[in-house]
Amino acid sequence: MNNTVIVLGYREGIATALAHQGYQIIHIVKRVKPALNGTRYYIVKNLEDAQEVLRCVLNFSLHTVIGIVTGNEDGVFTAAVLRDMLQLPGPKDYRNTLYFRDKFLQKQKLAHLVPHAYCRYVTRDDDYSQLVVELGTPFIIKPANGMGSFATTAINSRSEYETYFQQYEKNLSNVAYVAENKITAAEFCVDGIWSEGKLDWFSISQYAIPVMQCNEGKTLALQILSRQDFPDIYQQIDQFCPRILERLNAANGVFHLEFFKNGEGVFFSECALRPAGAWLPEMIKLSYGVDLYSAHATLSLGLPYEHHLPEYPSQLFAVVLLRAFDGVSLTKQAFYQNFDLVELDWIEDTQMQSQGIYGRSGYAIITHKDHHTLVENVNKLIAFTGAR
């Protein structure tokens, strides 16, 4: 039976969506996760190394393979290469995927179309004084093809600039890092479905704090904004997003776009062609009943996604990426007694350490029908964990 799908990287939502649609799955991953036990998987060193992944795939019985899917940032380019090489349906323009992987190329493509930070490649050999002239201070350095807030740092001095490259000196490529001027504004993201050159559906969420502050020990939280409560911003983004996705020639699939908003207007931050992390798709499914994992998998296989896409959320939700703090011991029962939680991932271990891109040790999804009350409850939950 020809119903095998090769999945690059493991994401539970993608695997579940494909399994529910009756597909057989072969995972290609960089590291083994417990969820892969008892499944068919292969390990490679680097999902972005299309040659290595293609060598792995050519060992399979390809006559049963009907498509390639990835929910991982580092799998987007390789997935397009494999579809092209193996003549499979779905997005094949691997050259164009680079405009969603490289932050400099992306902003260069959007020059003069929408407001955004000035962006340039930077290496340890660049003169700090010249960067200050170009970008002001503080300025931001981050990996050109980074994910989340990893290695994203505000640089306030020459010593911080030198320390940054000492910390990440293993990668000396001329296209490894970018520097940008800092934009002071509230941070938001758009998660939606793009198909046949049209914006089929989207939802807006707001970050409780600037994402970069996760690297400074702060707790990341995201909250759904309803079109009913924020009609003006939805109207702005309804025009903003299509212009960007058209210019970037986005392929069919789910996208995650981040933007800033202040008194001067809306500023583009960055955009990825895959479902967001940080349990955003899970929160969106609870809010709207829209399964972005299923939508992305379906469109990646070259099929139309034909499901009801509600305009308004049935309930408001927020996700908090919980941190563990020294001297604070919390039980699951304590969380549930104090907050209206829909989901909680928390290990009752006083030795537990925060880890990962966002420094998390668990997560909670919290709900309320009123936006302002939900904001207050999110702040109370963060304080409850011992955050300062």
Both 130 and 69 in one domain: the answer is no
User: Does residue 113 form part of some domain?
Assistant: no
Q: State the chain's mean pLDDT as an integer.
A: 95
State yes or no: pLDDT of 148 exceeds 90.
no
pLDDT tens, residue by residue, 166-208: 988 666 799 999 999 999 999 999 999 999 999 999 999 999 9
CA angle 274, 78, 59 (to 5 degrees): 125
Amino acid, single-letter form, for residue 198:
K
Tokens representing residue 201 in the block: 């559906």
Position of tokens 């759904």? 224
What pLDDT, on the 0 to 100 scale, is given for residue 353?
63
Both 168 and 267 in one domain: the answer is no
Position of tokens 């660049």? 126
Q: Number of folded domains in the chain?
A: 3
Both 202 and 305 in one domain: the answer is yes
* Pairing assessment for the beta strands 119-122 and 153-155 based on DSSP bridges: unpaired
Residue 174, number of CB atoms within 10 A of its CB: 10
Confidence of residue 216 (pLDDT cuts 50, 70, 90): confident
Phi-psi region of 351 (alpha: psi -120 to 50; beta: other; left: phi over 0): alpha
Q: 70, 89, 108: which is the final residue of a domain?
A: 89
pLDDT tens, residue by residue, 38-61: 999 999 999 999 999 999 999 999
User: Does residue 103 form part of some domain?
Assistant: no
User: Does residue 351 form part of some domain?
Assistant: yes
Both 163 and 201 in one domain: the answer is no
What pLDDT, on the 0 to 100 scale, is given for residue 41?
98
CA angle 48, 54, 55 (to 5 degrees): 115
Both 209 and 177 in one domain: the answer is no
Cis peptide bond upstream of 281, omega within 30: no
Residue predicted with more confidence, 111 or 388: 111
Both 174 and 255 in one domain: the answer is no
User: Does residue 24 form part of some domain?
Assistant: yes
Closest among 379, 374, 368 to 315, alpha carbons compared:
368
- List, as own/partner pairs, every contact residues 270-274 make where C-beta atoms lie below 8 angstroms and the sequence separation is at least 24, other chains included: 270/103, 270/106, 271/100, 271/106, 271/244, 271/245, 272/73, 272/76, 272/100, 273/76, 273/97, 273/100, 274/70, 274/71, 274/72, 274/73, 274/75, 274/76
Both 234 and 340 in one domain: the answer is yes
pLDDT tens, residue by residue, 199-213: 999 999 999 999 988
65 vs 141: CA distance, rounded Å? 41
Q: 181, 208, 232: which is the final residue of a domain?
A: 181
Confidence of residue 14 (pLDDT cuts 50, 70, 90): very high
User: Does residue 67 form part of some domain?
Assistant: yes
CA angle 111, 116, 122 (to 5 degrees): 85
What pLDDT, on the 0 to 100 scale, is given for residue 325?
87
User: Does residue 108 form part of some domain?
Assistant: no
Both 59 and 208 in one domain: the answer is no
Both 203 and 161 in one domain: the answer is no
Both 166 and 310 in one domain: the answer is no
Both 206 and 307 in one domain: the answer is yes
User: Does residue 362 form part of some domain?
Assistant: yes
CATH number at residue 175: 3.30.1490.20
What pLDDT, on the 0 to 100 scale, is given for residue 357?
64
State yes or no: pLDDT of 350 exceeds 60.
no
State yes or no: pLDDT of 388 exceeds 80.
no
Both 56 and 200 in one domain: the answer is no
CATH number at residue 60: 3.40.50.20
CATH number at residue 287: 3.30.470.20
User: Does residue 100 form part of some domain?
Assistant: no
Query: Whole domain around residue 150: which residue ranges?
Result: 118-181
